[in-house]
A = this chain, B = another copy of it.
Amino acid sequence: MKIDLNCDMGESFGTYKLGNDAEMMSIITSANIACGFHAGGPKVMSSTVSLAAQSGVAVGAHPGYPDLNGFGRRNMALDAEEIETMLLYQIGALAAFTKANGVELVHVKAHGALYNRAAIDPDCAAAIAKAVARYSKSLILVGLAGSHLIRTGEQAGLRTAREGFPDRAYLPDGCLMPRSQAGAVIESPEEVAQNALRLAREGVRIEKGGSVQYLPVDTLCLHGDNSSAVSNAKLVAKVLTEAGIELQALT
């Protein structure tokens, strides 16, 4: 039994520093690296890919909306062609650094508002899947477990990775509890680690009618941008490893 641990990386911008990339690299197995549209930039991408390469962490592109001031967290009414081409652009830009560092580009995971939109908007999901497929059929498309994006990617013949969030509460129907609701974000490191274990073993629990189903999860999202991020991530990795679950990048 195995699971991938991914984390958003390379989200600094110019003189502004964000995240604990160096420390997180020693814990995770996959890095989603910002591509300059919502965060990051050439220098940051170069050093982050280099760091991932040295750490043996799989590199993925983390494309987002062109909105540095909003950090890609505000939805933008971009049409399908704009989404498809801006995905290609950002994937290619990041791939220059994997090429220059002699490593593979393994996966693509949309960021922020684009990630959320792709989970429910068929046109957005199709545009993302098309961009990834046009770039390379060997890229792995990461999306929310149970999302429209995952189904669309599968239909497009892409390899997909279903993502779970150990630090987020889920609703009975398997959807993430909106951040606006109390209890949506789980603070306790122990609880986060137990959720990680449950997600890795069982997947996302879904009550449907009277019965219960489980949606398998291939990768767990860890956060690296707050003060306790590193210790929390270490605890997740420890609990999973001690339970006999192998931490391994997507393949």
Contacts and interface: CB of A to CB of B under 8 A. Distances in A.
A179 interface: no
B89 A93 contact: yes
Interface string A129-147: 0010011100000000000
A78 interface: yes
Interface size class of A (residues with CB under 8 A): 35 or more
B71 A74 contact: no
Interface string A176-199: 000000000000000000000000
A81 to B, nearest CB: 6
A16 B22 CA distance: 19
Q: Oligomeric state, in number of copies? A: 4
Nearest to A92: B96
B69 A14 contact: yes
A97 interface: yes
A3 B90 CA distance: 34
Contacts of A239: none
Interface in A60-87: 66-71, 73-78, 81-82, 84-86
Nearest to A133: B100
A174 interface: no
A92 B91 CA distance: 8
A191 to B, nearest CB: 26
B71 A88 contact: no
Nearest to A136: B99
Interface of A: 13-16, 18, 36, 41-43, 45-46, 66-71, 73-78, 81-82, 84-86, 88-97, 99-100, 113, 131, 134-136
10 contacts: A14-B70, A41-B69, A43-B85, A66-B69, A67-B76, A70-B76, A76-B77, A88-B96, A92-B92, A92-B96
